[in-house]
Structure 1
Amino acid sequence: MKNKIGLTVVLLLIIVFSVISFRWIKHRMEYAITDAVFVESEKLANLSFKRVSGKIIKMHKDEGDDVKKGDILAEIDPSDYKVQLERIVSEIKSLYYRKKALEEKLKRIDDQLNKKLEISKLSLKQVEEGIKGLSLRLKQIDLRIGQLKRDINRFRNLVKKDLAPARKLEKMETELKILKVERESVVSKLEQMKISRDITEKKVKQAESDILKVRELKKEISSIEEKMNALKKQKEDIQNLIKETKLLAPFDGKIAKKYKTEGEVVSPGIPVYALVSDKDIYINVLLEETKLKGIRKGSKAYIKIDAYPDEVYEGVVEEINPASAAKFALVPRDVTAGEFTKVAQRIPVKIRIVKGDKTLLRVGMSGEVEIKKER
């Protein structure tokens, strides 16, 4: 009887073991199982001051703190940048008042100069035409006087010989006197005209010189405007730098690491905080190439995290990397010489969590995954 009971127990144990073994083998055939599982986040950033440097005067967050996009995380002393801003604002004001004064001066003289130059040129033209007319008249008078003198000398000889009337000689002498008087008048007017021409020429030159000064004024105003525009750009840049003395959170998340403390001096690009988004958490699986068969995008996955052994997360395969993890190593294996040890390569597989409390997860946690194979 005892033998029968013992035999029955052994038989039952064999059956149970066989069933368990069958189910274990079946489960291994239906699922790709690995413990190369890590919690990752789409958004994990080392935050630093981009363009400013200086002493940190305030650190607003500690490790583990929740932050919202736009929250101030840290502040650098902005005093040096504010001094630069005040200097630039002062320069802009000085140039503005200088420009205003030049514009007022320009307004006073610019409207009249062109008219003044036109009037002076017209007057000069009239004077030159008058000089030309008087010179022509003087030439005609001189020709007539020369002719009369010759005629008078000839008529005197004829009158002495009673060959010509004395009245005609007197008439010619009278005309000569009138022409001499007229010549003196023309010469006098001509001298006055020349003096007037010299004065008018000076006026023209003065007007032209004033117009050149106006052009110089306009150039100076234009130069001041260019300087003001350049300073305004510098002002805007300094204002942006002052804003950048406050380190802002670029997205919602948690402070994963605090690299600096208050009072430390930092340079641009030096990490101050590490920020991770807990809303963009996913599971990164390094799956052996021998287990990749049957794994597709959309395959169901079940994840257990070591920190929470009683929690089971459900997910789906979202992405299968086209290259092995070894290809992204800092020092890739050199197999060109044919000397290497063959090992199963691991392919990164990204799993999106669709069920489970993601607020419990922290980037860097590890665990185990089972991925349902597709037939």
Structure 2
Amino acid sequence: MKPKNKNSRTATIMGIMTTCTVLILSVVAVVYFIKYITYSNRYEDTNDAQIESFINPVSARAGGFIKNVLFEEHQKVEKGDTLVILDDREYAQKVKEAEAMLEDTKAQQEILAASINSAQASTLINQDQIKVAKATLWQQEQDVKRFKNLLNEDAVTVADYEQVKTRYDVAENSYNATVNGLKTGHMKVNELQAKYSSLFAAKKRAEALLDLAKLNMSYTVITSPYSGYTGRKNILEGQQVQAGQPLVSIVNTHDKWIIANFKETQVNGMYVGQTVEIEVDAIGNKIFKGKIEAISASTGSKFSLLPADNSTGNFVKIIQRIPVKIKFAPDQDTDVLKAGMNVKVRVKAKN
């Protein structure tokens, strides 16, 4: 009989323990369910979110052979740091050629300026010659009138009158020649001034070519557009690159944000400036603060390369995701955060 009583007590104890365990598990389940319901009523969250940052591919603006590569993979660089130097000998020759063209244009301008001054001086001489020729013509005209009167009175011979008349004709032609010479001088000055203006334009063009040659030469030194970290190193010294060819990517570590893709049923009540709590998968037990900076005006599927066409008849209703841009609050240590890290964001739901 004693063994039977012992087994009965053991069974009773096991039953009580089982009942307690079930009760404890039920209480725990109820507590977690209540917490879940309370959390769901207070917050909207998603783990479909990643840290984003500007990743700028630095491209060559000039072609040539690489002379020096001054960076390593994943190296920290500051804005303006030299990354790559190209062989600039061809570009230096272009600069010298443009400088020579500019100097030649300046020399031609100086020659033309001297020619213009000489032509203008010649016109002054022509003006004085006109005055002399005009005075001579007037004198000869008076002699012709006087000898004509004397001829009418038979005081001189016809030969004497003809000699005076010939001298008058010579003086008149000389006067006309000096007048035409002055006109020719003015035309020569105008022609030289037009050539000078043309050379002035040529000088401007030579200056522009020189500036362009210097600009192209400056492209042989490739610098970092902003501070950050370099990406993979895929170039070596001696390699030939073309204009527009990407050389290395720079990750801007000073400007980071999060793109969180919330379900369309979650964004109701969200607004720009709303506070957000951020948990980073790679960093435990730390909550980052942020604010909603922008809410997309369209679902993510509408930005896809081949958006779905529901009018084809193959419609299956799928909850869409709406991208929300979240900016980190200032005065936080975000240096440890890397672009592409997965995060979980939590937004207080609208009451």
Tell me the TM-score normalised to structure 1 length.
Answer: 0.81
For 1:126, the aligned partner's letter is: A
The answer to whether structure 1 residue 73 and structure 2 residue 83 are counterparts is: yes
Runs of 4+ in 1 over 6 A off after TM superposition: none
For 2:282, the aligned partner's letter is: A
Alignment of 1:1-375 (within 5 A): 2=13, 3-41=15-53, 43-50=54-61, 52-111=62-121, 113-145=122-154, 179-180=155-156, 184-354=159-329, 356-375=332-351
**Counterparts of 2:236 and 2:177, CA distance in 1:** 77
Give the 3 Å change call, closer, same or farther, for CA 98–300 of structure 1 in structure 2: closer
Unpaired runs of 5+ residues, structure 2, are: 1-11
Residue pair 2:279, 2:344 contacting (<8 A) in 1 also: yes
1:279 counterpart SS class: strand
Give the 3 Å change call, closer, same or farther, for CA 229–30 of structure 1 in structure 2: same
**Counterparts of 1:294 and 1:198, CA distance in 2:** 103
Residue pair 1:312, 1:356 contacting (<8 A) in 2 also: no
Deviation at 1:254, TM superposition (A): 1.5
Residue in 1 that maps onto 2:5: none
Percent identity (aligned): 22
Deviation at 1:203, TM superposition (A): 3.6
**Counterparts of 1:219 and 1:294, CA distance in 2:** 74
Residue pair 2:271, 2:292 contacting (<8 A) in 1 also: yes
Deviation at 1:187, TM superposition (A): 3.4
Residue pair 1:117, 1:208 contacting (<8 A) in 2 also: no
Deviation at 1:363, TM superposition (A): 1.0
**Counterparts of 1:194 and 1:20, CA distance in 2:** 130
**Counterparts of 1:334 and 1:8, CA distance in 2:** 56
Unpaired runs of 5+ residues, structure 1, are: 146-178
Higher helix share: 1
Residue pair 1:259, 1:271 contacting (<8 A) in 2 also: no
For 2:106, the aligned partner's letter is: Y
Deviation at 1:370, TM superposition (A): 2.3
Residue pair 1:299, 1:374 contacting (<8 A) in 2 also: no
Residue pair 2:259, 2:325 contacting (<8 A) in 1 also: yes
Residue pair 2:279, 2:288 contacting (<8 A) in 1 also: yes
**Counterparts of 1:370 and 1:363, CA distance in 2:** 19
Residue in 2 that maps onto 1:161: none
Deviation at 1:131, TM superposition (A): 4.2
Residue pair 1:134, 1:186 contacting (<8 A) in 2 also: no
Deviation at 1:53, TM superposition (A): 1.5
Residue pair 2:137, 2:175 contacting (<8 A) in 1 also: no
1:104 counterpart SS class: helix
1:315 counterpart SS class: strand
1:171-198: CA deviation from partner (whole Å, max 9, x where unpaired): xxxxxxxx135x5544333323333333
Residue pair 1:68, 1:251 contacting (<8 A) in 2 also: yes
Residue pair 1:283, 1:350 contacting (<8 A) in 2 also: yes
Give the 3 Å change call, closer, same or farther, for CA 263–309 of structure 1 in structure 2: farther
Deviation at 1:317, TM superposition (A): 2.1
Mean CA deviation greater in 340-349 or 1-10: 1-10
Aligned CA RMSD, in angstroms, stands at 2.5
For 1:237, the aligned partner's letter is: L
Give the 3 Å change call, closer, same or farther, for CA 365–206 of structure 1 in structure 2: same
1:303 counterpart SS class: strand
Mean CA deviation greater in 291-300 or 271-280: 291-300
Deviation at 1:109, TM superposition (A): 4.4
